[in-house]
């Protein structure tokens, strides 16, 4: 519960996981920790999320992967920012699908974290991302109303 409150403090208006009281457009996704220690959520792809007809918008794919990796770091009480994000779109994500979004920590070193995110449907990988996250330097906070981070 303490970790959840800390996440809410820095993600109050998040478009992926924020409460609708603060962001009426939020997807309101809830991430959980699975038995392997990964962050996991499920997402229902609806027509309002599409780019090309019948397919999830590529920006949404990237957003979901980035959010999962951010939440994987939250599981360790790490608040970091995306420094690099490389997404591989394996196949289209179709409207009507309920997809699994997950993220794993691959390695970490002195405030730098490398993660992998996966979107899958019925056990098949649909999209995959590799990312590097960095913890802001001292004096650069991630909470609302504080010093902004400029990487």
Least confident of 48-52, 90-94, 100-104, 140-144: 140-144
CATH dotted code for 31-134:
3.10.129.10
The mean pLDDT of 117-143, rounded to a whole number, is 87
Reported as a single tens digit per residue, the pLDDT across 40-65 is 999 999 999 999 999 999 999 999 99
This prediction has a pTM of 0.84
Distance of alpha carbon 125 from alpha carbon 51, whole angstroms: 20
Q: Which residues pair with 89 in a beta bridge?
A: 127
Alpha-carbon distance of 21 to 89, in angstroms, equals 33
* Predicted pLDDT at 32: 87
pLDDT the model gives residue 72: 95
Name, in order, each residue with C-beta under 8 angstroms of 111's C-beta and a sequence gap of 6 or more.
80, 134, 135
pLDDT in tens, 75-87: 999 999 999 999 9
Bridge partners (DSSP) listed for residue 86 = 130
Count of residues making up the chain: 151
Residues 10, 126, 8: CA angle, nearest 5 degrees: 10
The model's confidence at residue 126, banded by pLDDT at 50, 70 and 90, is: very high
Please report, rounded to a whole number, the percentage of residues in the chain having pLDDT higher than 90: 66
Domain ranges of the chain: 31-134
């Amino acid at each position: 519960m303490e970790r959840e409150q800390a996440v809410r403090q820095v993600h109050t208006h998040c478009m992926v996981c924020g409460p609708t009281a603060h962001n009426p457009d939020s997807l309101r996704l809830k991430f959980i920790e699975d038995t392997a220690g990964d962050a996991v959520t499920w997402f229902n792809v609806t027509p309002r999320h599409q780019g090309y007809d019948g397919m999830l918008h590529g920006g949404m794919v990237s957003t979901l992967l980035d959010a999962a990796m951010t939440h994987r770091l939250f599981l360790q009480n790490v608040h970091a920012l995306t420094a690099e994000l490389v997404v591989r779109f394996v196949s289209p994500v179709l409207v009507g699908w309920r997809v699994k979004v997950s993220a794993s920590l691959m390695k970490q070193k002195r405030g730098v974290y490398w993660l992998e995110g996966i979107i899958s449907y019925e056990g098949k990988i649909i999209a995959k991302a590799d990312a590097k996250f960095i913890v802001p330097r001292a004096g650069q906070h991630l909470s609302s109303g504080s010093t902004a981070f400029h990487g």
